[in-house]
Amino acid sequence: MDIPASTFRDLRPAGSERERLDLLDVALFVRAALLANVSAAGREFGLSAAVASSRIAQLEKLLGARLLHRTTRRINLTQDGEVFMARAEALLDAAAAARASVGRGQAEPQGRLRVSMPSSFGRQHVSPVITEFLRRYPGVSVDLRLTDQLVDLVDAGIDVAIRIGVLKDSSLVARRLAVNRRVLCAAQSYLAECGTPHHPSDLAQHECMILSDQRDWAFETPAGTLDVRVSGRMVTDNGEVIRDALLAGFGIALKSTWDVAPFLRTGELVSVLENYPLAEKVAIWAVYPSRAFVPPKTLAFIDFLAAHFGDPPFWDMEPE
């Protein structure tokens, strides 16, 4: 639930004495902790660095506890700060939910939405519908970054990123948008020339195309998980390059069905080793920095994509 800075600018207590907990100060503290920077958090709330620092110091005085370790370059949560952070986020969520339930809080999503996602997936499955999203939410503009590099959301100012695969442990919040079914596949011409593998160990005799140096492929077998290290002359960080090489009959590759489903249906590509499913289950995720600061525009975009993809996703459905 998002709590924009404007929500709290009018919540300052009257008078010079600040004896009650001020939601603006709580929100400022949470944002400063997430950004590891008091000045940057202050700018989002329309406050100078000095005022932002002063407000957090007053919050610490009110609570009788130091919340942040401050250095010249960075801030970190103290032990008391970590405890207060969890309660503070819950408090802000409750305040935002109350505000959203009545009056102006029900307004349409607004503002610039910065989104990052893998190039191939973005071009194939987001680009065709992004204008539909913009028409639905006229108050939102989109800055869409298509890149196969892993972007630091906070440093790059990204509101939401689409990630595909197994998420590493991090401070990011994730919502699964769709399953990501993967298959081992090749062109009929390649299999006719080089033979069809019947066991994962047979891959050692084949030209395997490798995405981003992912050379270890794991399969489920009756004896348990089998890890196979594959090799090949093509390694790339772009899935479309591998798909083009597959269609040219160059080798075998591990591909997501969102990328190759049309070619599997036409028979231009065929799946192999179907009796040995892949051991690692992956998904397509929307990730964002924090539960406490999720703008309505971000939630609207995530909901839009989840509804568009469907469950199961439309690319895995047989055409009617």
Under 8 Å between Cβ of 310 and 183: no
Q: What is the mean pLDDT of residues 230-251?
A: 93
Whether residue 102 has pLDDT greater than 70:
no
pLDDT tens profile 23-37: 888 888 988 888 888
| Range of the structural domain that residue 253 is part of | 182-272
Q: Are residues 124 and 97 in the same domain?
A: no
Buried b (16+ CB within 10 A) or exposed e, 82-119: eebbeebbebbbebbeeebeeeeeeeebeeebbbbbbb
Lowest-pLDDT choice from 129-138, 150-159, 175-184: 150-159
Q: What is the per-residue pLDDT for 245?
A: 96
Whether residue 206 has pLDDT greater than 90:
yes
Q: Are residues 57 and 197 in the same domain?
A: no
Q: Are residues 76 and 28 in the same domain?
A: yes
- Is residue 244 assigned to a domain? yes
Within 8 A by CB and 6+ apart from 156, the residues are: 114, 116, 145
**Dist. CA 311–CA 18, nearest whole Å:** 51
- Is residue 67 assigned to a domain? yes
pLDDT tens profile 71-84: 766 788 898 988 89
- DSSP3 helix / strand / coil % (the chain, rounded to 5): 40, 25, 35
- Is residue 282 assigned to a domain? no
**C-beta neighbour count of 69 within 10 angstroms:** 11
**Dist. CA 98–CA 71, nearest whole Å:** 36
Whether residue 12 has pLDDT greater than 70:
no
- Is residue 91 assigned to a domain? yes
Q: Are residues 100 and 22 in the same domain?
A: yes
Lowest-pLDDT choice from 11-20, 185-194, 276-285, 295-304: 11-20
Whether residue 110 has pLDDT greater than 90:
no
Kindly report the average pLDDT of the chain as a whole number.
Answer: 84
Q: Are residues 88 and 215 in the same domain?
A: no
Q: Examine the fold and report which residue of 88, 105, 122 is the final residue of a domain before the chain moves on.
A: 105
**Dist. CA 61–CA 219, nearest whole Å:** 57
Number of domains the chain is built from: 3
- The amino acid occupying position 52 is A
- Nearest Cα to 33, choosing from 79, 81, 1? 81
Confidence grade of residue 107 (pLDDT, cut at 50, 70, 90) = low
**CATH code at position 82:** 1.10.10.10
Whether residue 11 has pLDDT greater than 60:
no
Q: Are residues 157 and 238 in the same domain?
A: no
Q: Are residues 218 and 241 in the same domain?
A: yes
Q: Are residues 49 and 196 in the same domain?
A: no
pLDDT tens profile 140-161: 999 999 988 888 887 788 889 9
Distance of CA 210 to the CA centre of its chain: 23
Q: Are residues 160 and 139 in the same domain?
A: yes
Whether residue 2 has pLDDT greater than 80:
no
Q: Are residues 260 and 292 in the same domain?
A: no
- Is residue 283 assigned to a domain? no
**CATH code at position 193:** 3.40.190.10
Q: Are residues 115 and 171 in the same domain?
A: yes
Q: What is the per-residue pLDDT for 13?
A: 41
Whether residue 314 has pLDDT greater than 90:
yes
Confidence grade of residue 98 (pLDDT, cut at 50, 70, 90) = low
Confidence grade of residue 9 (pLDDT, cut at 50, 70, 90) = very low
Whether residue 17 has pLDDT greater than 80:
no
Provide the whole-model pTM: 0.67
Q: Examine the fold and report which residue of 78, 105, 132 is the final residue of a domain before the chain moves on.
A: 105
Q: Are residues 95 and 238 in the same domain?
A: no
Q: Examine the fold and report which residue of 76, 105, 134 is the final residue of a domain before the chain moves on.
A: 105
